[in-house]
A and B are shown apart, each in its own frame.
Chain A
Amino acid sequence: MAKVKNWHLKREMEYPYSEHRPKRQWAIVFDLNKCIACQTCTLACKTTWTSGKGQEYMLWNNVETKPYGSYPLAWDVRILEKLGHQEWHKNGEYNGKTIFEAAEPTEKVAHFAPQDEDWMYPNVGEDDCLGDVPHGDHINIPHDKWFFYLPRTCAHCTYPACLASCPRKAIYKRDEDGIVLIDQSRCKGYGECVRACPYKKSMYNPYTRVSEKCVGCYPAVEQGLQPMCVQNCIGKIRIMGFINPPWKAREDNPVDYLVHKKGLALPYYPQLGLEPNIYYIPPIHANRDYLHQMFGPNVDEAIENYKKIRQDPVAQGLFTLMGSSDRILYSFKVENEKATGFDEKGGEIVQVPVTEHMYVRAEFDEKIGAVRSNTP
């Protein structure tokens, strides 16, 4: 075991390989306040990558309703219970064990092995809220009943458990973008990665008899395009880019801005120790204890910051840039109430107004002598 730096945990941790950060790291930020679980991302992914035999129930991208939704079944609680007590120190340091540190001597990581049946209910718990809704109940603000949608892809982790556990070294992390891939010619389908990934994003294909996983849409990324799940998000809740570690953060990088500069987006279940590279803007109305468990100790601050976005034209500008282009935004700028996204060489990709202009027309149209109506 090597000692590696995990900035999510604010400490060093044990990992089977030494620290090696890629030249660039693929990352997605999701605004959970906007996700409506339309599953367009899921279908965009499915039609692109997993429409074949043996992939019938394989969803590299899925959206589950929290707290009850889970694919595979109860993946989150079943891995969390393996970790034991998970405590964060006041200074933000994680005092509990990661899955690497909690591993039994005969195993690479603490894990549970999902069974066939666990993958058969991708939409379990959909729209189920926490708590009973008795007859005559009505909405109170803040909501005492809650749920939220959690879209998930592979997190192309800095310290992938799938890669750590593969006895054949058939899994590799690309230096050019940090995307984690299973070598389809080398994998022998032992299923070690399916057991080891705590997020359960390695999946077994019983037809090809090897394991498969989200490829981060690397052919698109290589051409400067965002993945299909991001491009097709109708709610414009996602943005894909390249994240830097905090000590190399760039304020004009959209992902760095949301994660490091504003502290709006957080990794999920960072205590597992993988330094996952999908980041979530937490839902402001969900149960705070639950959010602490899922997103760690910075969740209160992230929610407070999110509530203040209206007073921050730069952050507002970036939010309007999300989903405004299929291309990867390497940097952005907000000036004169306009937000602009740029490519790697600084060329302009897209420009949007920070606030859509509102035009108010007179109620009566003098020209045709008629009352205006909003009815189309």
Chain B
Amino acid sequence: MVGLFTVAPLFAWGATLDSKWIKEDLSKPDLSAKYWSGIQEETVTLMAQPMVAPRPKETNTSSISVQSLHDGKWISFRLKWKDPEKNEAGRLGEFSDAVAMQFPIKSNENPPPIFMGAKDNPVHLFHWRAQYQRDQEKGKPEMRDLYPNMSVDMYPMDFKDTGHLKAMTDERKEVFSPGKIEGNPQSYRKFAVDEIFAEGFSTSSVSASHEAVGYGKWENGRWTVVISRPLNEGEGGSILQAGKNSFMGFAVWQGGKGEVGSRKSITMVWVPLSIAPAKGM
């Protein structure tokens, strides 16, 4: 591990990200808005997550290009990376393409370790998944959507009211879906972006709040995703300010290469983020 830290500064990890102010409403993610043209694209280097197993054998996504703008209330990022196939997950062993941005919470000047923060020094993550976006657009898939040729005799909780047999209430039907009953966001996602807090590896937990919005499109072997978040995420969250600096980290998952969880490409050092002052505010 020591080797990694000493080697790290030798790479060109990416220049400072400049987030210019613009008089637009950035609370809606817009992939192809005119305001993106002319905004400098910074290339940020990624490498296979090297710290904990299970991890990828090789780096599948070696860089991500980043543009940023803010409107005084919302800050928006347009992210692009190469991925030869589009993956939205579904069946066993199928994983979703995804991207995440990471911000420090306690101090924008002295961020915690880049690897998902540390105990009592958490990070705020914004995790966009192609799978969640599909859910948002088309609804969560039923078993028949995933397995069109499947055949099932019956689901015992699904029988209809036939005289002496009373139909099950929706709540009772969920009895065999423990993930849903327990309110696991993974089991009934309706938002493209998860907001997550973490204090180091293995500690991430999904926040109930989901102010951030995102939208992505895969075209010609490349994802373009816009994620917009409020500058001020409120008490306990990441708070960015116009005219001030902070830091960011990135992670990319290629579902088609079996990347999920700790199998991902990540930034190995914090990328400086410079937020321009807001005019007329």
A50 sits at the interface (CB 8 A): yes
Q: Would you call B143 an interface residue if the criterion is a C-beta within 8 Å of the partner chain's C-beta atoms?
A: yes
Contact status A169-B202, CB under 8 Å: yes
| Also in contact, A208 and B91, with CB within 8 A (given A52-B157, A185-B182) | no
A185 to B53, CA, bound (A): 23
Q: Are B262 and A206 in contact, CB atoms less than 8 angstroms apart?
A: no
Partner of B152, one of A56, A105, A107, A116: A56
Of all chain B residues, the one with the shortest Cβ separation from A166 is B202
Q: Which range contains the number of A residues in contact with the other chain?
A: 35 or more
> Is A189 close to B, CB under 8 A?
yes
Q: A103-B53, A106-B57, A206-B90 are in contact. Are A51 and B155 (CB under 8 A)?
A: yes
Given contacts A184-B182, A187-B186, contact A206 B53 (CB under 8 A): no
Please state if B184 and A53 are interface contacts (CB–CB under 8 Å).
no
Docked complex Cα distance between A189 and B143 (Å): 16
> Could you tell me if A188 and B261 are in contact, using CB atoms closer than 8 angstroms?
yes
**A203 to B: closest C-beta gap in Å:** 9
Q: Does A121 touch B at the CB level, under 8 Å?
A: no
Whether A209 contacts B53 by the Cβ 8 Å rule is no
A107 touches B53 (CB 8 A): yes
CB-contact partner of B143 in A105, A119, A185, A207, under 8 A: A207
* Stretch from B34-42, B100-108, B171-179, B218-226 that touches the partner: B171-179
Once A184-B182, A184-B184, A208-B184 are accepted as A-B contacts, the answer to whether A107 and B92 lie under 8 Å apart by CB is: no
User: Which residues of chain B come closer than 8 Å to A355, judged between CB atoms?
Assistant: none
- The interface residues of chain B lying within 8 Å CB-to-CB of A49 are 176
Chain B count of residues within 8 A CB distance of the other chain: 40
Chain B contacts for A204, CB-based, 8 A: 92-93
Give residues 112-128 of A contacting B (CB, 8 Å). Answer: 113-116, 119
Q: Which of A49, A119, A190 has the most CB of B within 10 A?
A: A190
- Is the Cβ of A167 less than 8 Å from the Cβ of B52? yes
B152 and A54 form a contact (CB under 8 A): no
Is there contact, CB below 8 Å, between A207 and B56?
no
In the assembled complex, the CB of B201 is this many whole angstroms from the nearest CB of chain A, namely 7
**Complex contacts, A116 vs chain B, CB 8 Å:** 91-93
Interface assignment of A32: CB less than 8 Å from any CB of chain B = no
Complex Cα spacing A77 to B90, Å: 28
Contact call A51/B157, Cβ cutoff below 8 A: yes
Q: Does A168 contact B (CB under 8 A)?
A: yes
B92 near A194 with CB under 8 A, answer yes
Residues of B within 8 A of A119 (CB): 92
Bound complex: CA of A191 vs CA of B94, how far in Å? Answer: 10
Binding site for B on A (CB under 8 A): 47, 49-56, 103, 105-108, 113-116, 119, 165, 167-169, 184-192, 194, 204-210, 212
User: What are 14 inter-chain pairs, A to B, with CB distance below 8 A?
Assistant: A47-B156, A53-B143, A56-B143, A116-B91, A119-B92, A167-B201, A168-B202, A168-B261, A185-B183, A186-B184, A194-B92, A204-B93, A208-B184, A208-B186
